Chain A
Amino acid sequence: MRQPIGQPMSQPVENPTADPAPHPTPHAHSTPETQAAEPTAPDLTATDLPTPDLTGAALARTPPADLHRLLATRLGGAARAWLDQALEEAATHPGIHGPISVWELRLAEAGRRCGPEHADVARVLILHAARAGTDAVSRVYFQGTAAERRAVLHALPHLVAGPDALPLVEDALRTNDTRLVAAAVGPYAARYLAPHHWRHAVLKCLFTGVPVDEVAELDRRAHADAELARMLADYAAERTAAGRPVPEDLHRVLTLTDPTATPPAPAAEHDPGPRGTDGKES
């Protein structure tokens, strides 16, 4: 939930839904006459999705075609036109060209064109339309703002089939920005992150207060992981020795490590309760 913290005087904060026309931008080599290839994905209407969430982990789990359809219903006319053109450009001119490719420019400006609350999903769609591979996602990640990096992390499962993009995930897991840490533990990490790194990622979530609901395939990867169980127990002992509360999520993950445990309730029904965290990890 976003909260306005001050009323702008006139219209300094760009309102994408009220924007009469796309702004002229530098380095824009738009080709409105070219047609984008339609994303291929199963047909799925918005009503088929129980929770049409367009943020966070849903970006990694929802097929891009569905993300596009859902986003289109939420954007104003000018923002939707901008997005459609950006996706066309990305599909027509993918790859890395010069100091900044046109789709990279669109990636950078997605927040002010679509509104900050829609920037992540717009960026995932642009990356997908540009068919960004390991080289391209690495470049835009390492040249990106924190918001762009987060979108790249969410897009990885849609874009990179093997483990080649793991350095991005590992970079994000080294940060203390909880938004990046949360984005890093999605389906791509679940698929490819090596056990040692993955266990530290789980522990880092507990340290920094990122809900373990963000950790994709937590049940599968935690199941019968004795080393993770040892690390969690040690962490709990350390917290207890310090007279500090043990995060509720820790017990939940610890339960999952039990090789005889029955599958837990779906994450959506789980109430993590109050979390005691360090709020800092240096």
Chain B
Amino acid sequence: MRIFDPHIHMTSRTTDDYEAMHAAGVRAVVEPSFWLGQPRTSPASFFDYFDSLLGWEPFRAAQYGIAHHCTLALNPKEANDPRCAPVLDELPRYLVKDQVVAVGEIGYDSMTPAEDTALAAQLQLAADHGLPALVHTPHRDKLAGLRRTLDVVSESALAPDRVLVDHLNETTVKEAKDSGCWLGFSVYPDTKMDEERVITILREYGPEQVLVNSAADWGKSDPLKTRGVGDLMLAEGFSDDEVDRVLWRNPVAFYGLSGRLDLDLDLDVTATGATHEGNSVLRGGA
């Protein structure tokens, strides 16, 4: 079973997780930039984080045979802090980077005017840079938040089929699907969604444009939840092809909209711990 986790915060995870993910079949991840738990107080703190998502973290992932891409943005929560808002002005120089496959996570947290501004501005940035957008839907007042999100998307320059609305559940999936957006489900140990509920939604709505992620981060979460969904799909009678569609081809298709997805890995870096076979080879290729 090949797995592409389209939303996971590997910065918050250990090398043990990378090892277990690879053993479970994970071969590609997308790491959206987000809130770190501790509020940032300056744009420079974001830039170091973005640099890490474009430097150290892909290197770490490659050592475990996992291709790493990222989505960059000013996250909804910190869009409310005027000390952090200038990040928006610097985002363009980051959005041209090869490994950036979407703008994200953007969206709503508390549905404030500052979040309105940041969401609209970053949907425009996505359109300007030929990137799709990963849109977080809020945890509090979720259905109202989804509706407001879809309104802003429909008023933006970005077509719905270039938008992934994430953290959906039973109350939000129908309107999200009707909008033409891609549908993201985060499977958590206790909150958001679980494996059984994802199966129920797949039965009702089908696998088209559905992505399943672990959204694993620094909170209680599990980077192997994607595999759990795949296993349960098979146990419940879904075909190998349907599992592959949800866990691999759909995320490849969505992030492939960027034209920047590169699912080859440097074997030289993946040789854990020890060797780089010959030199130039550190980069591979010719």
Contacts and interface: CB of A to CB of B under 8 A. Distances in A.
B261 A13 contact: yes
A253 to B, nearest CB: 16
A111 B100 CA distance: 12
B282 interface: yes
Nearest to A71: B286
A211 B252 contact: no
B284 A10 contact: no
Given A13-B263, A177-B59, A214-B279, A2 B269 contact: no
Given A3-B267, A4-B264, A8-B263, A211 B93 contact: no
Contacts of B175: none
Interface in B103-136: 128-130
B128 A57 contact: no
A121 to B, nearest CB: 9
Contact of A178 (B51, B267, B282, B286): B282
B129 A2 contact: no
B281 A56 contact: yes
A211 B263 contact: no
A6 B2 contact: yes
B167 interface: no
A135 interface: no
B39 interface: no
Nearest to A10: B253
A10 B260 CA distance: 14
Interface residues of A, number: 65
Interface string B219-257: 000000000000000000000000000001100110111
A1 B96 contact: no
A182 interface: yes
Nearest to B99: A145
B37 interface: no
Most chain A beta carbons < 10 A, residue from B92, B98, B249: B98
Contact of B96 (A54, A105, A116): A105
A178 B261 contact: no
Contact of B283 (A120, A211, A274, A279): A120
B28 interface: yes
Interface in B64-110: 65, 67, 90, 92-93, 96-99
B284 A117 contact: yes
B35 interface: no
A202 to B, nearest CB: 15
A118 interface: yes
B280 A55 contact: yes
A118 B267 CA distance: 16
B241 to A, nearest CB: 12
Nearest to A119: B98
A5 B282 contact: no
Contacts of B248: 6
A23 B130 contact: yes
Given A13-B261, A100-B96, A146-B55, A5 B28 contact: yes
A128 B11 CA distance: 35
Contacts of A105: 96
Interface SS majority for chain A = loop
B282 A26 contact: no
Interface in A123-159: 143, 145-150
A23 B259 contact: yes
B58 interface: yes
Given A145-B98, A279-B273, A6 B93 contact: no
A209 interface: yes
A57 to B, nearest CB: 6
A149 B267 CA distance: 20
A53 interface: yes
Contacts of B217: none
B282 A145 contact: no
Contact of A5 (B99, B129, B265, B268): B265
Most B Cβ at <10 Å: residue of A24, A209, A280? A209
A92 interface: no
Contacts of A275: 274-275
Contacts of A42: none
B264 A116 contact: yes
Contacts of A4: 263-264
A112 B93 contact: no
A26 B129 contact: yes
A104 B97 CA distance: 10
Interface of A: 1-6, 8-14, 23-27, 52-58, 74, 99-100, 104-105, 108-112, 116-120, 143, 145-150, 175-179, 182-183, 209-211, 213-214, 274-277, 279-280
21 contacts: A2-B284, A3-B267, A6-B263, A9-B249, A12-B256, A27-B92, A53-B280, A54-B286, A56-B282, A100-B93, A110-B98, A112-B260, A116-B98, A117-B283, A117-B285, A176-B56, A209-B273, A209-B274, A209-B275, A211-B276, A274-B274
Interface of B: 2, 4, 27-28, 51, 54-56, 58-59, 65, 67, 90, 92-93, 96-99, 128-130, 248-249, 252-253, 255-257, 259-269, 272-276, 278-286
**Nearest 8 CB-CB pairings of A with B:** A12-B256, A117-B285, A56-B280, A279-B273, A111-B98, A146-B55, A55-B280, A145-B54
